[in-house]
Amino acid sequence: MKHDWILDVLTDLRTFARENDLLTLAAQLDDTQMVAAIEIATINERSAVDAIEQDNSGRHDIFTLGQGKRII
């Protein structure tokens, strides 16, 4: 979320380029905006996974349960 502002800036730049017949620049800004959106989504996804892993860090793995030593 904190990186989304850059998408608005790129949209404004692309709009300016199109309105001023800078068509190659506008096309390049389309590509740049796509790259930015993908990278932001990747960052957000990694953050979500990290949060889930941190939340689950105190839980026991199902495969290790019951493998402790028994004291009789």
Going by C-alpha positions, the residue among 44, 33, 35 that lies closest to residue 9 is 33
Buried (b) or exposed (e) across 28-60, using 16+ Cβ within 10 A? ebeeebeebeeebeeeeeeeeeeeeeeeeeeee
Of residues 60 and 11, more confidently modeled: 11
Of residues 54 and 6, more confidently modeled: 6
pLDDT reported for residue 57: 66
Q: What pLDDT band is residue 58 in, cutting at 50, 70 and 90?
A: low
pTM, whole model, 2 decimals? Answer: 0.62
CA distance 63 to 39: 35
Enumerate helices (H) and strands (E) in the chain, giving the number of each: 2, 0
